[in-house]
A and B are shown apart, each in its own frame.
Chain A
Amino acid sequence: MTAHGISLVARQEIRTRLRTGRWKVLLLVWFVVVNGFALLFRLALESSAGFDWDVEEGVIMFGGVLLAVLVLTLLVTPALSAQTINGDRERGTLATLQVTRLTAGEIALGKLAAAWGTGLVVLGLTLPSLFLPVVEGAIGIGRFVVVVIVVALLVGIVCAISQGWSALLARSITSVLMSYMTVFGLLVVTPLLFTLAVPLTAQPVDGRYRSYSEEHTEYVWWLLAPNPVVILADATPRLPERGVDHIGRSAADADPLGDIGRSVRDARAGDDGDEESVGPVWPYGLGFNLVLAGGAVWVSARRLRAPARTLPEGIRVA
């Protein structure tokens, strides 16, 4: 496997993609819509925040826009790579590639690099509105860099998983559907499962005056860990302390990312501890997702290997 082969495949993918023309329009629309909404969001914050003296609009804007960007980008990502392999097979261009001196790994990684690269361009177009709070000084540059890296990794993970589906399944429509189901699973099903699992952890406690049941979120916190929102929120560096409010919390108020991160760590700590007594949650989630993505890359490289012994159900090699 060589870098030359990978970059050859990646350049070919990007070139054929850019030539379809409508990409430029789509990217332009994406840029205008995302940044436009972010600015509207900011304006709405400005006009309603007059009464609240300690709210920093930049922090809310950063957190709110970032979460929206994360979810939107993850929704776009399956479209980038969920039909790169079976789509080529349907068009009849895959087999001619496989008989060249390009190896299966080069084809798989090249296609992944192209999809990820496109995903990063999509992400990059949203950055101007995220960078505004940094310019204002509300958000440190370090925090900005960390969140961009985490979102970029998450985009890559979804690219890899989508490509794995496109290698496994014969029809591109099925693999696109499965990729969206995967994103849906990570974003929506994980908190749903957590919510359903929490009552199951309840254990009866014999109190001095009456019996009651106590929920143990520390047994099921890991259900939340693979969630991209959780990973991003928890991995984001905490804002510096700014005085103490009436419940003893000492971080900035109204920081969407910090709030999510704290509540996830609270869940991990359970009733007996607090969020500062436990370690972060995001390494588990990111690690799990990276293993998933690595597995998907391995599967797609394996599926591209020729000569093939087994074929996906109902496909022609060429």
Chain B
Amino acid sequence: MAEPNAVPRQELISTAWTEPSSPYQAPGSPGGTPGSPHWAPVGPHGAPGGPDGGEHGIEARGVFRAFGTVPALRGLDLTVPYGQVTALVGANGAGKTTLLLILATLLAPDAGRISVAGHDLSTHPEQARSALGWMPDTFGVYDQLTVDEYLAFFADAYRLPKGEKPRRVRALLSLVHLEDQLGRPVHGLSRGQKQRLGVARALVHRPRVLLLDEPASGLDPRSRVELRDLLRSLAAEGVAVLVSSHILSELEEIADRVVLVDHGQTVGEHRMADLVASGPNGMGRARWRIRAMEGDGLAARLAARPGLGEVGDLPGGAEVGPLTENEAADLLAALIAEGVRVVAFGPVGSALESAYLAMTENMTQSRR
């Protein structure tokens, strides 16, 4: 298995994030195809990776961890392929942060086999560390340092070559749009700016695997969009990105895959496309909100149709569902054919949110 340092790495910031004038390219980086050539699409339930365990950024099987007598993880499985953004979704206390701490080599699992960037965490955590970037949900910064000193310190801690350090620090600062903070003390940054500095810190050593715990919390809308673009561009360059978040509508735009975690177990690994689109598996069901011109008898016509789920009355409209996109389209066509002048017809909330809520609903029911 190749050493992570020996693999020529595409410079992480070769996309729109770099200043156009920056001449910096990692030596020996292949000028094209940054994406990981050996990532295979993963089926709905996480097809196993290659036999050597190095096919994916992260492979975790049967991870258990308890704190005292309280189990946090109970046989969790996870696959994070290179070149994709995988979202870790689950309720508070589902074990997301515990899992990320274990993946970040800070916490030892009680049982389970985990490899990060092809390195077994139980035997070679230090090798995994040099291939791994981690941003915790809450973290402190050295308040007394300036922004660039902060990044330079971590560049040293990751043993970046001396000559590369200043350029790397400047590139990272422009990557997270903090270049105007150069030389300013860290304690003067806003919460969102500190969060962005944290992202830059996690990227200092060009990790091939990136773990982010609630990265969007505390970010303003503009920064969220930028974070999303950053993660997408990192994934496009072949980095395996794992993001945990509560903001489901946002994950829908960022993530390629969704791993649903509940009570310390994986309850589903899905492609985002499968999850939000309607299909035979029926995962893409959402409630739909309909508004029509008054006097067209929308409520009566909805009441007359079977299979619409729970029909709720709204001022000037109604809410139906859950329906797949197919069913919703049929309903819309029928309503229009019947002469209802529909002015608005759309899903309520995000499809991921609906899927997540439906799934956790099912689980609470099945547990009873």
Interface residues of A (CB under 8 A from B): 5, 8, 12, 15-16, 19-20, 88, 91-93, 95-103, 306-309, 311, 317-318
Q: Point out the residues of chain B lying under 8 angstroms from A98, CB to CB.
A: 106
Q: Which of B245-283 contact A (CB under 8 A)?
A: none
A-B contact pairs, 29 of them (CB 8 A): A8-B153, A8-B156, A8-B157, A16-B144, A19-B144, A20-B144, A92-B139, A93-B139, A95-B104, A96-B134, A96-B136, A96-B201, A99-B106, A100-B158, A101-B126, A101-B130, A101-B157, A306-B105, A306-B106, A307-B106, A307-B108, A307-B121, A307-B125, A308-B107, A317-B101, A318-B104, A318-B136, A318-B137, A318-B139
Q: Which one, B134, B141, B153, contacts A99 given CB within 8 A?
A: B134
B159 touches A (CB below 8 Å)? yes
The reply to whether B107 and A92 contact each other, CB–CB distance below 8 Å, is: no
Q: Point out the residues of chain B lying under 8 angstroms from A16, CB to CB.
A: 142-145
The reply to whether A96 and B153 contact each other, CB–CB distance below 8 Å, is: no
The reply to whether A15 and B126 contact each other, CB–CB distance below 8 Å, is: no
Q: Which one, B101, B141, B142, B159, contacts A318 given CB within 8 A?
A: B101
B129 touches A (CB below 8 Å)? yes
The size bracket of the interface on B is 20 to 34
The reply to whether B105 and A317 contact each other, CB–CB distance below 8 Å, is: no
Q: Point out the residues of chain B lying under 8 angstroms from A19, CB to CB.
A: 144-145
Q: A12-B142, A102-B157 are in contact. Are A92 and B126 (CB under 8 A)?
A: no
Whose C-beta in chain B lies nearest to the C-beta of A107? B157
In the A-B complex, list the 6 residue pairs whose CB atoms are closest, starting with the nearest.
A19-B144, A92-B140, A100-B157, A307-B108, A91-B140, A318-B136
**15 other contacts beyond A307-B106, A307-B108, with CB at 8 A cut-off?**
A5-B157, A8-B157, A91-B140, A92-B139, A92-B140, A95-B104, A96-B134, A99-B104, A99-B106, A99-B132, A100-B158, A101-B158, A307-B107, A307-B121, A318-B137
Bound state CA distance, A171 and B351, in angstroms?
A: 44
Q: Point out the residues of chain B lying under 8 angstroms from A8, CB to CB.
A: 153, 156-157
B39 touches A (CB below 8 Å)? no
B102 touches A (CB below 8 Å)? yes
* Min CB gap A103→B, angstroms: 7
B364 touches A (CB below 8 Å)? no
B138 touches A (CB below 8 Å)? yes
Bound state CA distance, A264 and B103, in angstroms?
A: 56
B17 touches A (CB below 8 Å)? no
Proximity string of chain B (93-120) to chain A, C-beta cutoff 8 Å, 1 when within and 0 when not: 0000000011011111100000000000
B345 touches A (CB below 8 Å)? no
Bound state CA distance, A20 and B156, in angstroms?
A: 22
Q: Point out the residues of chain A lying under 8 angstroms from B107, CB to CB.
A: 306-308, 317
Q: Point out the residues of chain A lying under 8 angstroms from B126, CB to CB.
A: 101, 103
* Min CB gap A35→B, angstroms: 29
Bound state CA distance, A8 and B139, in angstroms?
A: 21
The reply to whether A101 and B140 contact each other, CB–CB distance below 8 Å, is: no
Q: Point out the residues of chain B lying under 8 angstroms from A20, CB to CB.
A: 144
Bound state CA distance, A95 and B156, in angstroms?
A: 16
The reply to whether A309 and B108 contact each other, CB–CB distance below 8 Å, is: yes
Q: Point out the residues of chain B lying under 8 angstroms from A307, CB to CB.
A: 102, 105-109, 121, 125
* Min CB gap B13→A, angstroms: 20
Whose C-beta in chain A lies nearest to the C-beta of B68? A313
Proximity string of chain B (143-182) to chain A, C-beta cutoff 8 Å, 1 when within and 0 when not: 1110001000110111100000000000000000000000
Bound state CA distance, A222 and B67, in angstroms?
A: 43
* Min CB gap B336→A, angstroms: 54
Q: A306-B105, A306-B106, A307-B102 are in contact. Are A95 and B139 (CB under 8 A)?
A: yes
* Min CB gap B188→A, angstroms: 13
